[in-house]
Chains A and B, each alone.
Chain A
């Protein structure tokens, strides 16, 4: 197992190196840079002033020099300075991480709490009225864009109740209940959409497993319905669901931009989009690398869970 984990981490490092080249290259390929944005806030462009700012920010150096410098900074734990805010990138990024992580985790919890039971019920009650209702429910979740759903929630609340969740971030230590309220709605909006996918995967995976011989054997041996489903069938059907959950979590980290924007939560995803629009290279590069690390680690955790859930899976052999 240790060998397997070490191998995966090694491959992960190589993946990150490749990602760094892609991120770095794609950013430079996008038209315009921070200097263009700074001048756009001034409403004009002056070539001499432009050259001076490029020198100040080190953007006049060859691209490969800038890349090597960035790698050196990462390795030494220095994430550089934001071009826009002229502050250490880590100082800006650090407070955003807990917000996005919390929203992603809560959304995932909602999606699993809704998706797995609904998927099981839908599979067990296949082709009944309840199955159709749940399938429509899941299709609706997949069809609704999250920004639309979020906006509908906000507008409905303000129209009916004259109230919306707080528009400035409330930390749990500041006011736990207000914090809970602030995160409940976006988690539900995102979780509902994710639950649709989990529900469908659970349903189809369970239907496949329930046709297996050992399930028929378990029934024949007199096992109750719930034991057959929850102990025998689901345990074997859960692997694809775990994979999807892992993928969803990784997607959520970077994909919450619309939800964070609509609900005005100061998270990574929203800030990343802003940094891209500003061509704030240090922030974008480091944030994308962070998301890449999360994706790699979450895939590793999912694979480790396989070994836990399915005794037939052994790593390192």
Chain B
């Protein structure tokens, strides 16, 4: 995948007003009208309160209701600075060496209740997110506060201009603003309201949310992109049982699958049963990883952590647990799916990516140096969420660890207790999944590896690593930044801070009459549905 162009191209970007890329996903002329049924695997977790949630079960079904300032082109699969397009912003400009980010907003945009959209709404949203002292509203839960730690102030000098003033340069902020987790809320609507209904500016309005059953959307006739959306309506259908979900899409009762839902095995079954289904392998931006409590024995010992990382055969896991439906990578999603990930040649030198037997021998040696021998095995408790996708991975890892002298017993933890347990550090070692809201190193590293971050479950804190994180965050030259990130990823894997096992793939499935729904290599950032049409 092509790297983004030079940083100078990012100084002033004129966004296409219509949200259409240079190339339409479908060469046919779109037809207006029609309805599509979309799969949901559970009911909306926090309604449409995207800013109070970190689950795709809230963000995906909320996308049609909202807009961002900028978004990734919905008709292009890669998510790079080159595919950023204006959403509520017509154009934007970096100023003062990436210390100020100015957005020039669209005019004549209305909220679904008819109120005008202005810069006040943007200021309100981001003051709330960064918990500014004078923020007019407060979120009950604010999982991405750290994304905006570098924002010093948000100003709205006129109704159609917003200025983000940063404490230091941060070119990555733009990517974070383009995440599906960064919609704009209405300033005149209490944020709590979004837990039960949705007032957005998006291409669709919520008609009804039947709890536990479905969300119905109807076309927004006042959408600011003329001629969009094409569809008249959407229905997001909740189906809890996996077998029933697959049967429903196979039988044509659902037109569109849920992102991250279709495994390789399920995709093969579907394709065999219905050859005309369109199945696209894409990355999810979700990784399997191991968390180890670095504050407590035995994983306060670097050698023991490294031994765990060496012991786990990544490629074996990809075959055994995902039947090949995942790829190897370090802490950033690997190329070609991500912009910043390590190349294959860089991965080969890292723990767990070489020959399995050699890696395990290395693990045994490290454990031997730490006093762990076959006569004196290390006994630990591996915690994981009591969900099949976690348990499958944990079971494989336990078996790998056994081969090097670590006897791990499995403890399944109910979801209600998992994050509290992980945040408190009330565990030794855990099998975990992590989704990245956007392929942006700042979003990943400040959330998952920064000292003191509540989602840094391993409680890992390394001053050198923090410096590396801060340095790459301020680097304006993409090539230099990539070099810094290569070194950072290697350092983190060598420290076994949170060994990454694989990056999962999705086999995104739609019926062929669904046009212009282009899945991205990130499950959180596609599905606005403004350009989607039905060819039947």
A-to-B contact residues, CB < 8 Å = 31-33, 36-46, 49, 52-53, 56, 85-87, 92, 95, 151, 154-155, 157-159, 162-164, 166-169, 261-264, 266, 270-271, 274, 277, 279
B21 to chain A, nearest CB (A): 32
B249 to chain A, nearest CB (A): 10
Q: Which B residues are CB-close (under 8 A) to A44?
A: 54, 143, 419, 423, 454-455
Contact A262 B251, beta carbon cutoff 8 Å: no
Q: How many angstroms from the CA of A40 to the CA of B432 in the assembled complex?
A: 13
Contact B52 A262, beta carbon cutoff 8 Å: no
B206-223: CB near A (< 8 Å → 1, else 0) gives 000011111000000000
* Interface: B2 (CB within 8 A): no
Q: Which B residues are CB-close (under 8 A) to A45?
A: 419-420, 423-424, 454
Q: How many angstroms from the CA of A85 to the CA of B45 in the assembled complex?
A: 9
**Which listed residue, B52, B210, B416, touches A42 by the CB 8 Å rule?**
B52
**Which listed residue, B47, B247, B418, touches A158 by the CB 8 Å rule?**
B247
Q: Which B residues are CB-close (under 8 A) to A168?
A: 213-214, 235, 237
B418 to chain A, nearest CB (A): 6
Contact A261 B240, beta carbon cutoff 8 Å: yes
Contact A85 B196, beta carbon cutoff 8 Å: yes
* Interface: B67 (CB within 8 A): no
- 9 extra A-B contacts, CB within 8 A, seeds A32-B417, A44-B54: A36-B416, A45-B419, A49-B141, A53-B141, A56-B140, A162-B273, A168-B213, A264-B248, A266-B210
A85 and B211 contact, Cβ closer than 8 Å, known pairs A41-B46, A45-B424? yes
Contact B417 A31, beta carbon cutoff 8 Å: yes
Contact B244 A43, beta carbon cutoff 8 Å: no
Contact B414 A274, beta carbon cutoff 8 Å: no
Closest 10 CB pairs of A and B: A32-B416, A44-B454, A42-B143, A43-B54, A158-B247, A45-B423, A41-B45, A42-B141, A40-B419, A36-B416
Q: Closest residue of chain B to A262, judged by CB?
A: B241
Contact A39 B250, beta carbon cutoff 8 Å: no
Q: Which A residues are CB-close (under 8 A) to B416?
A: 31-33, 36-37, 40, 277, 279
Q: Which B residues are CB-close (under 8 A) to A87?
A: 196, 211
**Which listed residue, B213, B241, B253, B273, touches A159 by the CB 8 Å rule?**
B273
* Interface: B342 (CB within 8 A): no
Q: How many angstroms from the CA of A263 to the CA of B243 in the assembled complex?
A: 10
Pull 26 A–B residue pairs with CB atoms less than 8 Å apart, ordered by A. Answer: A32-B417, A36-B417, A39-B419, A40-B418, A42-B141, A43-B143, A44-B419, A45-B419, A46-B141, A46-B454, A49-B140, A86-B192, A86-B195, A158-B250, A158-B251, A162-B273, A166-B253, A167-B237, A261-B241, A261-B244, A262-B241, A262-B243, A264-B238, A264-B241, A266-B212, A274-B43
* Interface: B319 (CB within 8 A): no
B400-434: CB near A (< 8 Å → 1, else 0) gives 00000000000000111111100110000000000
Contact A92 B415, beta carbon cutoff 8 Å: no
Q: How many angstroms from the CA of A265 to the CA of B449 in the assembled complex?
A: 43
Q: Which B residues are CB-close (under 8 A) to A159?
A: 273
Q: How many angstroms from the CA of A307 to the CA of B235 in the assembled complex?
A: 51
Contact B54 A42, beta carbon cutoff 8 Å: yes
**Which listed residue, B45, B212, B424, touches A270 by the CB 8 Å rule?**
B212
* Interface: B58 (CB within 8 A): yes
Q: Closest residue of chain A to B454, judged by CB?
A: A44
Q: How many angstroms from the CA of A53 to the CA of B195 in the assembled complex?
A: 14
B226-266: CB near A (< 8 Å → 1, else 0) gives 00000000010111110110011011111000000000000
B423 to chain A, nearest CB (A): 4
* Interface: B55 (CB within 8 A): yes
Q: How many angstroms from the CA of A32 to the CA of B237 in the assembled complex?
A: 29
Q: Which B residues are CB-close (under 8 A) to A271?
A: 212
Residues of B within 8 A of A (CB-CB), count: 50
Q: Which A residues are CB-close (under 8 A) to B415?
A: 37, 40, 277
Contact A167 B212, beta carbon cutoff 8 Å: no
Q: Closest residue of chain B to A163, judged by CB?
A: B251
* Interface: B53 (CB within 8 A): yes
**Which listed residue, B46, B244, B252, touches A264 by the CB 8 Å rule?**
B244
**Which listed residue, B239, B243, B455, touches A43 by the CB 8 Å rule?**
B455
Q: Which B residues are CB-close (under 8 A) to A263?
A: 244
Q: Closest residue of chain B to A30, judged by CB?
A: B416
Q: Which B residues are CB-close (under 8 A) to A31?
A: 414, 416-417
Q: Which B residues are CB-close (under 8 A) to A167?
A: 237, 239, 244, 248, 253-254
Q: Which B residues are CB-close (under 8 A) to A262?
A: 241, 243-244
Q: Closest residue of chain B to A279, judged by CB?
A: B416
**Which listed residue, A41, A86, A162, A274, touches B196 by the CB 8 Å rule?**
A86
Q: How many angstroms from the CA of A162 to the CA of B45 in the assembled complex?
A: 32
Q: Which A residues are CB-close (under 8 A) to B454?
A: 44-46
Q: Which A residues are CB-close (under 8 A) to B455?
A: 43-44
Find residues 51-96 in chain B having any chain A CB closer than 8 Å to their own CB.
52-55, 57-58
Q: How many angstroms from the CA of A167 to the CA of B142 in the assembled complex?
A: 34
Find residues 172-215 in chain B having any chain A CB closer than 8 Å to their own CB.
192, 195-196, 210-214
Q: Closest residue of chain B to A82, judged by CB?
A: B211
Q: Which B residues are CB-close (under 8 A) to A270?
A: 212, 240
Q: Which B residues are CB-close (under 8 A) to A163?
A: 251
Q: How many angstroms from the CA of A40 to the CA of B239 in the assembled complex?
A: 21
Q: Which A residues are CB-close (under 8 A) to B417?
A: 31-32, 36
Q: How many angstroms from the CA of A281 to the CA of B239 in the assembled complex?
A: 23
Contact A38 B418, beta carbon cutoff 8 Å: no
B367 to chain A, nearest CB (A): 32
B388 to chain A, nearest CB (A): 15
A43 and B419 contact, Cβ closer than 8 Å, known pairs A154-B247, A158-B247, A261-B241? yes
Q: Which B residues are CB-close (under 8 A) to A56?
A: 140
Q: How many angstroms from the CA of A92 to the CA of B210 in the assembled complex?
A: 9
A161 to chain B, nearest CB (A): 8
Q: Closest residue of chain A to B253, judged by CB?
A: A167
Q: Closest residue of chain B to A85, judged by CB?
A: B211
B407 to chain A, nearest CB (A): 26
B224 to chain A, nearest CB (A): 30
A87 to chain B, nearest CB (A): 7
Q: How many angstroms from the CA of A166 to the CA of B213 in the assembled complex?
A: 12
Q: How many angstroms from the CA of A93 to the CA of B206 in the assembled complex?
A: 22
Q: How many angstroms from the CA of A36 to the CA of B420 in the assembled complex?
A: 7
Contact A52 B253, beta carbon cutoff 8 Å: no
Q: How many angstroms from the CA of A156 to the CA of B417 in the assembled complex?
A: 38
Q: Closest residue of chain A to B273, judged by CB?
A: A159
Contact A162 B250, beta carbon cutoff 8 Å: yes
Q: Which B residues are CB-close (under 8 A) to A279?
A: 416
Q: Which A residues are CB-close (under 8 A) to B58?
A: 41
Q: How many angstroms from the CA of A263 to the CA of B213 in the assembled complex?
A: 12
Q: How many angstroms from the CA of A306 to the CA of B83 in the assembled complex?
A: 75
Q: Closest residue of chain A to B216, judged by CB?
A: A168
Q: How many angstroms from the CA of A167 to the CA of B418 in the assembled complex?
A: 31
Q: How many angstroms from the CA of A33 to the CA of B253 in the assembled complex?
A: 36
Q: Which B residues are CB-close (under 8 A) to A53?
A: 140-141
Q: How many angstroms from the CA of A86 to the CA of B190 in the assembled complex?
A: 14
Q: Which B residues are CB-close (under 8 A) to A52?
A: 140
